[in-house]
């Protein structure tokens, strides 16, 4: 396999902790709350932690490193991302890209070999650690870049990805791949590069199975580990179609479109029929596919972490999954999960 067995073992062993909330995604948490959460997750058995420079403009990396530094380094797996460099800016907006109270930096994209190496060096400084295990090329899909996409993709294919391959061959990192929200870019890059791992956010979930037909089989065929991020699709699979606080449900980082609201509402009716919490179904559905190595969810507190852990183990009867399939609410070809905890 492309990744070592030691890395795969940590990826496969739930729970894991995604670091976007540690960067104040949508709302702020304190430094103390963030480090307390990471230490709590480690004590609860979490051995995979993910972060990125993008998350709070370095705030997530700083908080994660402060918390993890007290633990033996080989105990846990750490990933971050490259493709954005952070430049200091005294008048940088406090709120940027969905993150609030960010550190005083502005982002610029750089997927070249030089940019990737600098990004990793900067991340190690923010983390205060000497090693990063997995590195994801972040958001190289078309949506963030518009007309600049072709040039930035060429930078990644010709520069950034070969640089990461060299770092892996030198033993500096354990593996590399993509961290994206889009299926098409994964398939495009796989035509040109051998990847070890893909962190795919939101494209194989209870609400969106767009990765099922082509990408997941290709990952299995090529031995590419798939980490499924965003299992709640930015919120709607946690809050439901009509959040109790009256807020707008979010899907894919934006207010959910009407057809998605209707789809999730229909899923919730089945949840009610079988007494299955929506969040439990959302966390367990991706694990039904053998291509999915890890389901990665974030949390803002120990209570949220505990809820995610509890829901990931909640007993869900087989009849629930069959009902979703029979009513056309999940893809007819999607493999159904086994009993919680069996993987």
Q: Which member of 10, 40, 48, 55 is catalytic?
A: 55
Indicate the SS3 state at residue 305: helix
Active site residue 333: no
Active site residue 208: no
Active site residue 50: yes
Indicate the SS3 state at residue 276: coil
| Contact status, residue 202 vs residue 227, Cβ threshold 8 Å | no
Q: Which member of 81, 133, 176, 250 is catalytic?
A: 81
**Residue whose C-alpha is closest to residue 114's, from 151, 80, 82:** 82
Find where tokens 């750490």 sit: 78
CA 202 to chain centre: 8
| Contact status, residue 57 vs residue 96, Cβ threshold 8 Å | yes
φ, ψ of residue 220 to 5 degrees: the values are -60, -45
Polymer length in residues for the chain: 343
Residues 328, 303: Cα–Cα separation, whole Å = 34
Residues 12, 313: Cα–Cα separation, whole Å = 15
CB atoms within 10 A of CB 265: 14
Q: Which member of 40, 50, 111, 155 is catalytic?
A: 50
> Which residues belong to the active site?
50, 55, 81
């Amino acid at each position: 396999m492309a990744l070592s067995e030691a890395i795969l073992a940590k990826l496969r062993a739930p729970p894991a902790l995604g670091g976007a909330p540690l960067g104040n995604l949508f709302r702020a948490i304190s430094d103390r709350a963030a480090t307390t959460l990471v230490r709590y997750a480690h004590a609860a058995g979490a051995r995979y932690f993910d972060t990125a420079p993008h998350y709070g403009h370095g705030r997530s990396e700083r908080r994660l490193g402060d918390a993890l530094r007290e633990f033996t380094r080989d105990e846990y797996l750490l990933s971050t991302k490259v493709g954005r460099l952070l430049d200091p800016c005294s008048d940088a907006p406090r709120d940027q890209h969905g993150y609030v109270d960010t550190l005083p930096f502005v982002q610029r994209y750089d997927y070249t070999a030089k940019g990737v190496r600098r990004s990793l060096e900067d991340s190690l400084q923010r983390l205060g650690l000497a090693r990063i295990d997995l590195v994801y090329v972040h958001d190289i899909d078309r949506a963030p870049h518009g007309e600049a996409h072709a040039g930035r993709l060429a930078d990644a294919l010709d520069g950034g990805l070969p640089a990461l391959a060299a770092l892996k061959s030198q033993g500096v990192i354990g593996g590399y791949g993509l961290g994206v929200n889009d299926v098409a870019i994964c398939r495009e890059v796989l035509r040109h590069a051998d990847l070890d791992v893909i962190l795919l956010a939101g494209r194989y979930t209870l609400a969106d199975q767009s990765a099922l037909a082509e990408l997941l089989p290709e990952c299995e065929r090529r031995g590419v580990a798939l980490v499924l991020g965003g299992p709640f699709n930015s919120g709607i699979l946690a809050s439901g179609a009509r959040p109790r606080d009256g807020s707008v449900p979010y899907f894919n980082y934006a207010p959910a479109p009407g057809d998605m609201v209707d789809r999730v509402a229909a899923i919730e009716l089945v949840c009610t029929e079988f007494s299955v919490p929506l969040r439990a179904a959302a966390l367990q559905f991706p694990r039904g596919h053998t291509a999915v190595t890890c389901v990665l969810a974030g949390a803002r507190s120990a209570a949220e972490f505990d809820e995610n852990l509890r829901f990931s183990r909640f007993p869900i009867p087989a009849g629930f999954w069959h009902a979703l399939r029979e009513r056309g609410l999940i893809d007819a070809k999607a493999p159904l999960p086994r009993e919680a905890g069996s993987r």
